[in-house]
Amino acid sequence: MFRVLTMQPYIVLTLLLILCLSFAGCTDRNAPARSTYTVDSSGVLSLQCAPVTTSEGVLFANETYTKSRIVLHTETGDVVTYLAAPDAPKAAVVYAPGAGEKLAGHEERMVRFTAAGFAFLFVDSRGNGGETAGEPFSQQLIQQDYSRFESGEMPQYYMSLCDLISAQTVLTKKYQVPVYAMGSSNGGRYAAEAAGINSQFAGYVGISTSDWGLRDSMLRQGLSGDPLRFATSIEPGTYIGKISPRQAWMFHAQTDPIIPFASGQRLFEKAQEPKNFSEFSGEHGINPDADTRILMQWAQIYGTRE
């Protein structure tokens, strides 16, 4: 006669776990999600950005606004952002800086936006020389990212777009208000793409920006196939028309020595209504006159702060 053995539930669970780990068919449901992408035959990028966790530390607070440092913990490393916000903002901005732009150049701007009733989040972009690691935008990065694209890996360029999209999600959850994608120069390109790809952005603001021109350059060289598809996937003009029916505002200085005024107009022509193009005083990049014009536009929508 055989004796029936019984096992305690915790022993059974332990054995099942050991068996699971012994076979390739078992999966860890707690494994972190990975961001993925697809690029269709026309070169249009779709992104599925993995959720991020955040760490926030308050740097300063007074009766007008609170400034904090928020770190986005992404699957490929930390992305640092800085937020200035009043207690109850009417809307919020995810700001993508231009090449070499640092937080220090935006301190007064953040105070001005918060005084007008808007939260302002500065994203320290990957490889832009700040606190976030990564490669700066360059021909070398494009070549590296194309290699990643060909092998099915996630290009840094696409991850930078996910950073902006993740920042939008963070602000929406935090304040439950409209969140705009805004950027200056190179940052305006990233912001246009993020707003076109992710319909959760309330709209787009671009300052001193344009297409990269990579797609047109390849067409002139007679290139096609995957190189052209990848170049198309990172052109702002591929996405700016997809922002509609949300608002797109663009601002450009007539005397811009870096990105010609006409180049900004050509990108604007690809946007759909509702849209607005305004000249501002200065040369290249966001400045106090551009701030004034942006806040005037938003005062018509959200009213002035009392």
Q: Is 78 helix (H, G, I), strand (E, B) or coil?
A: strand
Question: How far apart are alpha carbons 135 and 156 in whole angstroms?
Answer: 8
Domains of the chain: 35-302 (3.40.50.1820)
Q: Is 182 helix (H, G, I), strand (E, B) or coil?
A: strand
266-291 CB burial, b ≥16 within 10 A, e <16 = ebbebbeeebebeebebebbbbeebb
Question: How far apart are alpha carbons 219 and 215 in whole angstroms?
Answer: 6
64 burial class (0-12, 13-18, 19+ CB within 10 angstroms)?
exposed
Question: How far apart are alpha carbons 122 and 96 in whole angstroms?
Answer: 7
* Token pair of 241 as six digits: 């028309």
Is the distance from CB of 264 to CB of 236 less than 8 angstroms? no
Is the distance from CB of 254 to CB of 262 less than 8 angstroms? no
Residue indicated by tokens 């840094």: 156
| Per-residue CA distances from 304 to 90, 91, 195, 260 (Å) | 10, 12, 25, 33
Q: Which long-range contacts (CB under 8 A, 24 or more apart) does 61-65 make?
A: 64/111, 64/114, 64/115, 65/110, 65/111, 65/114, 65/115
The pTM of the full predicted model, rounded to 2 decimals, is 0.89
Question: How far apart are alpha carbons 108 and 59 in whole angstroms?
Answer: 15
Q: What is the pLDDT along the chain (306 residues), one digit of tens a residue?
A: 334 334 444 343 333 333 333 333 333 344 448 999 999 999 999 999 999 999 999 999 999 999 999 999 999 999 999 999 999 999 999 999 999 999 999 999 999 999 999 999 999 999 999 999 999 999 999 999 999 999 999 999 999 999 999 999 999 999 999 999 999 999 999 999 999 999 999 999 999 999 999 999 999 999 999 999 999 999 999 999 999 999 999 999 999 999 999 999 999 999 999 999 999 999 999 999 999 999 999 999 998 764
Which residues lie below 8 Å from residue 279, measured CB to CB, with a gap of 6+?
A: 251, 252, 253, 254, 261
- E strands in the chain: 36-39, 45-48, 53-61, 66-74, 77-85, 91-96, 118-123, 179-184, 203-207, 247-252, 275-279
Angle at 169 between CA 163 and CA 174, to 5 degrees: 125
Instruction: At 279, give phi and psi (nearest 5°).
Output: -85, 145
